[in-house]
């Protein structure tokens, strides 16, 4: 198992090209199961979760041709598609549940393992199952699998999600594309990645329109041959903006629409970062002294992203004053706090609130990753620590950040990937 060795403190400077969005690629790849015609997906990130989804599609019978750099996938479902998704493929990735909707919509049956992924909270799939049931899917849970089927085509319906859910919104939109009649989804998640999914489906002939948190889908008979380029990863972009802020950096983020991380960029300005946006580029300079922010609350988009919570906590550790973060999305997303304390952070937890004392002088230490976003917060903290830090179990990082050590090296971070043992 690989680990990172980081020698701090580092001051970063240079340019960063943001990879394709993992959280956009996964539902788009799942949606290709709806197609009889060939589909080409471009700008895929080279991360473990994408490898897992492609392996899952192959196991279901999709023919996939990858470009040499693995950023372009040509997918054709000309073979008979299987409808069984095994535990061995599904156990490592939450996003694998997204094949349920298209399999039921297109093939009217599925046996799929209950999914795995990061241990950041319960994240029940009942919203997915309840929504698909209202479209005509019947299911039972048996031996860790969802056994689902429908009597022919799904039927359009009006449904309201009891709680905003990204995955359930995606699964329901994908499934409704081939349903009879019209589906109205209310209280939807509206993350940019969901809009990217619907842009892809509409390009292929789907009939999807948005009005605030309401999504209307008019079912079609089939989808057309299409090519689509996945949007850049806003969490990766936000992470590098945080890196510039904590490491007194001078960074240029290339080819990126800053509007989709406007909330986070406004926070970074309050911390003291100087930010300019021009021609799809973000120019960001980190402050010599970080100003405190008393309270940050994570919220569904367009609020502060839960996927940026652990990164923002590093800034608050370094800020000249006390602050707090309230985590409103997942109930178990402070697992990085124990590791940050090993570096010298003074953080107390009370239920879903973390109180950060500020003015931390990080000292290098040996650390353990617990989940994808927590892992990158440890990298950020190690970058600004005095001395050497070792971060173990970095396979979590490989699930969602493409070659992060190479990108960090290019902007001045002293980081090495090492094999354990």
CB 94 within 8 A of CB 117: yes
Give the pLDDT score at 400.
Answer: 85
- In CATH terms, 2-19+232-419 corresponds, of 3.65.10.10, 3.40.190.10, 3.40.50.720, 3.40.50.970, to 3.65.10.10
Residue 144 buriedness (CB in 10 A; 0-12 / 13-18 / 19+): exposed
DSSP string for residues in 315-374? HHHHSSS-EEEE--S-TT--TTHHHHHHTT--EEEETTEEEE------B--EEE--SHHH
Give the pLDDT score at 124.
Answer: 66
Give the pLDDT score at 94.
Answer: 74
DSSP string for residues in 114-161? PP----SS---SHHHHHHHHHTTEEEEEETTEEEEEESSS-B--EEE-
Give the pLDDT score at 229.
Answer: 98
Superfamily of domain 22-229: Enolpyruvate transferase domain (3.65.10.10)
Residue range(s) in the chain whose domain bears CATH number 3.65.10.10: 2-19+232-419, 22-229
CB 261 within 8 A of CB 234: yes
Residue 11 buriedness (CB in 10 A; 0-12 / 13-18 / 19+): middle
Question: What is the mean pLDDT, run by run of 10 residues, along the chain of 421 residues?
Answer: 94 97 97 97 95 94 96 91 87 84 96 64 74 96 91 97 95 98 98 98 98 98 98 97 97 97 98 97 97 96 96 98 94 87 97 96 94 88 98 89 95 93 59
First CA to last CA distance, the chain: 9
Q: Give the position of tokens 């909707």.
A: 101
Give the pLDDT score at 119.
Answer: 40
Give the pLDDT score at 120.
Answer: 34
Give the pLDDT score at 421.
Answer: 59
Give the pLDDT score at 240.
Answer: 98
pTM over 0.75: yes
Residues with a known catalytic role: 118
Phi, psi of 58 (to 5 degrees): -60, -40
Which strand ranges, in their side-by-side order, compose the sheet holding 347-350? Answer: 295-297, 323-326, 353-356, 347-350
């Amino acid at each position: 198992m690989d680990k990172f060795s980081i020698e701090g403190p580092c001051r970063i400077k240079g340019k960063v090209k943001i990879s394709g969005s993992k959280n956009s690629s996964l539902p788009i790849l799942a949606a290709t199961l709806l197609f009889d015609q060939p589909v080409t997906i471009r700008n895929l990130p080279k991360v473990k979760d994408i490898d897992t989804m492609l392996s899952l599609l192959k196991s279901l019978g999709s023919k996939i041709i990858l470009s040499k750099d693995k950023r372009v996938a040509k997918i054709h479902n000309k073979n008979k598609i299987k409808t069984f998704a095994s535990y061995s493929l599904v156990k490592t990735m939450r996003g694998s549940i997204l094949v349920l909707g298209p399999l039921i919509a297109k093939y009217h049956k599925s046996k799929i393992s209950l999914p795995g992924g990061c241990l950041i909270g319960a994240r029940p799939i009942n919203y997915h199952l309840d929504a698909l049931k209202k479209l005509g899917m019947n299911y039972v849970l048996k031996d860790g699998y969802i056994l689902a089927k429908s009597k022919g085509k799904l039927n359009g319906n009006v449904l309201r999600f009891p709680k905003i859910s990204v995955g359930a919104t995606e699964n329901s939109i994908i499934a409704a594309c081939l349903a009879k009649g019209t589906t109205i989804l209310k209280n939807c998640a509206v993350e940019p990645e969901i809009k990217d999914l619907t842009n892809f489906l509409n390009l292929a002939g789907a009939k999807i329109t948005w009005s605030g948190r309401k999504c209307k889908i008019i079912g079609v008979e089939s989808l057309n041959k299409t090519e689509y380029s996945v949007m850049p990863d806003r969490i990766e972009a936000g992470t590098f903006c945080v890196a510039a802020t904590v490491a007194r950096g001078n960074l240029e983020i290339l080819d990126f629409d800053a509007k989709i991380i406007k909330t986070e960029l406004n926070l970074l300005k309050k911390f003291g970062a100087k930010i300019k946006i021009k021609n799809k580029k973000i120019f960001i300079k980190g402050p010599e002294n970080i100003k405190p922010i008393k309270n940050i609350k994570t919220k569904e988009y367009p609020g502060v992203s839960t996927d940026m919570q652990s990164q923002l906590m590093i800034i608050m550790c370094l800020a000249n004053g006390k602050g707090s973060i309230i985590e409103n999305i997942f109930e178990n997303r402070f697992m990085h706090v124990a590791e940050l304390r090993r570096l010298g952070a003074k953080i107390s937890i009370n239920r879903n609130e973390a109180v950060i004392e500020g003015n931390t002088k990080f000292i290098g230490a040996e650390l353990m990753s617990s989940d994808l976003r927590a892992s990158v917060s440890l990298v950020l903290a190690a970058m600004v620590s005095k001395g050497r830090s070792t971060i173990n179990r970095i396979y979590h990082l490989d699930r969602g950040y493409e070659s992060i050590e190479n990108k960090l090296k290019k902007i001045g971070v002293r980081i090495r990937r090492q094999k354990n043992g």
